[in-house]
Amino acid sequence: MNANINCSDERLDHLITLLKHFAITLRQYGIITLATFMITVIFLCSCSKFVEVEAPKTSINQENVFSNDATATAILTGIYIKMSGRNLSSIGGISTIPFVTGLSGDELILYNNVNNPIYIAYYQNSLTTSNVGAQDYWNELYKTIYTCNSAIEGLDKATSISPIVKKQLLGESKFIRALNFFYLLNLYGDLPITRTTDYSINGTLNRSPKSQVYELIIQDLLDALNLLTDNYVDNSLVNPTSERVRPNVWAAKALLARVYLYNKNYVEAENMASQVINNTALYHLNALNEIFLKNSAEAIWQLQPVNNDFNTEDARFFIIPQTGLSDQWPVYLSQQLLSSFETGDRRKTQWLGFFVDTTITPHKTYYYPFKYKVSERYEPVTEYATVLRLGEQYLIRAEARAQLGKLTEAADDLYSIRERAGLGKVIPSSQLAMLEAILHERQVELFTEWGHRWLDLKRFKKVDEVMTIVTPLKGGVWSTNWQLYPIPEADMRFNPNIIQNPGY
């Protein structure tokens, strides 16, 4: 029974000798020998080649993935596709952050006939560890980080990928990793820093303090600055294109400006934002209704739509159809946001849409974000989901300058944004007032975009002040603990080193 498992050459020789021997004896002993012989052969063949299989044709294994430019590129493309294709209603993907942070904060109202418990938990700031909603971002974003790590590891080892492609892909991987860590950090607080694909390391990490996570984010973005191309490239990663849908060095700088700002490194924040703003060959501020068009001059990084017959998922999700709100169109804009628009603000007319419910008396008007306007099927694709745009850079620089005491320059930057909204210049009376004005400007400029409002409330330490009023209106009870989402139950259960956020 110890079996001849390995079919080595030696054994083959052995077999041939055996064969000859049997041929001779066969004549002498006839059928019995024949049978014995046959069976011997069968058993000799019972070797490992019978249980060797090739990788399935429908998947690619790691060696192959990083052996040529196209498949290596596809790893990062896969991330963009998932970002772009994600329906906003299916919480978890990084691109659904506008919806969910809008629910948690003071931007969105959940239609009262919607009973999705996850929506309600985010909305009423009543997430719990057992709430499935709690794990959404954590798991999805860490998965993307894993993909980046696996790409970085694979690219480091790759030998047959062209150097330009390798450089760009490494840059994109680090950029995406930084972006995901940035959002994780701001949604959950201190984080386990995963920089490998080794689950035994990734699954047992402690939560590193915020500052260390920021160090990694900044390092990744600095690396990306050196790796990414200056211009926009197509799928070959070499040829330039007008499509702004793969991150380039300016995307890294724009994100870095934001990260420096959040990190209170105002000098660098101003510097980075200036670099982007000064690249007037590529970027300039657009008119309000042109910002979110595809390849607009204000766009620093956009996502190309990948869902059939539709433009952006933002438009599809936020724009309330003629039949009104329902579980598929569950949110509308809050009174807090609506009332924060100054008189004459063109954004109020151009970026807000409304739906009037005539079934009730008096009729009720629901406002929705109308930055992206094409929600119908079969319309030609004119809009791209915009992840990073120049407008934010002006606001970053304004804030950085205000913090650095350069109030006039800050006011100028602010005016760049206000001007196109038809508003006048803010005269800075004090640094504090200037910062207040910038926070307000960010609210009306960046609403329902990439969670800016929720993050700003926390950053400006306004979250308790605002939410103490807002949460009860939504049917919940506010506690300062709720500004961080809970670490998922699975992580608490399966990683003994993780400590839960306070209050959960």
Partner 1 sequence: MFIYLQRCPILLRFLVVLFFLHTVFIASVKATQAGEEKVTIVAKNVPLRDVFKSITKQTGYHLFYSPEVVNVLERVSLEVKQQPVDDVLQSLLGNKNLTWVYNEDAIAIRVKEKSPDEKKRIDRIEDDSITNPLPQTVTGKVTDANGNAIPGATVMVKGTREGATADAEGKFTLHNVKNRSVLVISSIGYEARELTVKGKSILAQLNMDVQALDETVVIAYGTTSQRLSTGNIATVKAEEIERQPVNNPLLALQGRVPGLFIQQSTGLPGTAVRVQVQGQNSILNGNDPLYVIDGVPYSSQSLPNLGAILAPPNGQSAIVGNNPLGFINPADIESITVLKDADATSIYGSRAANGAILITTKKGKAGDTRVSINMQKGWGKVPRKLDLLNRDQYLEMRHEALRNDSKTISPTDYDLNGTWDTLRSTDWQKELIGKAAAYFDVQASVSGGNDNTQYLIGSGFHRETTVFPGDFSDQKGSVHFNINNKSKNQKFKVQLSGSYLIDNNHLPNQDLTSYAVQLAPVAPKLYLPDGTLNWQTDGNGKATWENPLRYTLTKYHNKTTNLTSNGMLSYTIIPGLDISTSMGYTNMQSSDKQLTGMNYYRPEDRPFNIPIGVYGSYNINSWIVEPQINLKRQFGPGRIDALLGSTIQQTNSNSQQLIGGGFANDLLLEDIKSASILIVSSTLDQIYKYNALFGRLNYNLFDKYIVNLAARRDGSSRFGPENRFHNFYSVAGAWIFSKENFLKNNVSFLSFGKVRASYGTTGSDQIQDYRYINLYNKVNSDLAYLGGTGLEPASLYNPYLQWEETRKLQLGLDIGLLGDRILLNTNYIRNRSSNQLLDYPLPGTTGFNGIARNLPATVENSAWEFTVNTVNTKSRNLTWSMNFNITLPKNKLHAFPNIEQTSYASSYIVGEPITFINRFHFLGVDKTTGLYIFENRKGDQTSSPSKPDDQIVRINTSPKFYGGLQNSFTYKRFNLTFLLQFVKQRAQDIDFGISLPGAFFSLGNQPITVVKRWKQVNDNSNIQRYNSDYSRNTPYFNAVDSDMGYGDASFIRLKNLSLSYQLAETLSRQIRLNNLRIYAQAQNILTFTNYKGLDPETRSSLTLPSLRVFTVGFQANL
Nearest approach, Cβ of 97 to partner 1 (angstroms)?
17
By CB under 8 A, residue 9 contacts partner 1: no
Choice from 359, 362, 380, 461 touching partner 1 (CB under 8 A): 359
Using rule CB under 8 A, residue 1 touches partner 1 = yes
Q: Is 281 in the site for partner 1 (CB under 8 A)?
A: no
| Chain residues 214-253 in contact with partner 1, contact rule CB under 8 A | 234-235, 241, 243, 245-246
Nearer Cβ to partner 1, position 294 or 453?
A: 294
Residue 82 as a binder of partner 1 (CB under 8 A): the answer is: yes
User: Does residue 135 bind partner 1 (CB under 8 A)?
Assistant: yes
DSSP string, 170-199: HHHHHHHHHHHHHHHHHHHSSB----SS-H
By C-beta, is 166 or 258 nearer to partner 1? 166
Q: Would you list the DSSP string of 264-287?
A: T-HHHHHHHHHHHHH-TTT--PPP
C-beta closer to partner 1: residue 305 or 451: 305
308 lines the binding site for partner 1 (CB under 8 A): yes
Q: How many chain residues bind partner 1 (CB under 8 A)?
A: 113
Q: How many residues does the chain have?
A: 504
Nearest CB to partner 1, comparing residues 275 and 479: 479
Please pick, from the candidates 68, 126, 295, 336, the single residue that binds partner 1 as defined by CB under 8 A: 126
Q: Cα separation of 406 and 180, whole Å?
A: 32
Restricting to residues 14-53, name those near partner 1 by CB under 8 A.
31-32, 35, 38-39, 42-43, 46-48, 50-53
Q: Which of residues 431-470 bind partner 1 (CB under 8 A)?
A: none
Q: In this structure, what token pair is assigned to residue 146? A: 């894993």
CA–CA separation, 354 vs 304, rounded Å? 27
Q: Which residue has the tokens 């930084």?
A: 178
CA distances to 96, 97, 99, 357 from 90, rounded to whole Å, are 7, 11, 10, 26
Cβ-contact 237, 164 below 8 angstroms: yes
Residue ranges in 388-417 that form contacts with partner 1 under rule CB under 8 A: none
Which of 61, 211, 278, 339 is in the footprint of partner 1 by CB under 8 A? 61
450 Ramachandran zone, left/alpha/beta (phi>0; psi -120 to 50): left
The vertex-77 CA angle with 72 and 80, nearest 5°, equals: 150
Interface with partner 1 (CB under 8 A), residue from 74, 297, 338, 439: 74
The answer to the question of residue 500 lying near partner 1 (CB under 8 A) is yes
Q: Is the dihedral of CA 236, 240, 246, 252 positive or negative?
A: positive
Residues numbered 327 to 356 that lie near partner 1 (CB under 8 A) are 327-328
Q: Which is nearer to partner 1, 272 or 331 (CB)?
A: 331
Answer for the pair 452, 153: CB distance below 8 angstroms, yes or no.
Answer: no
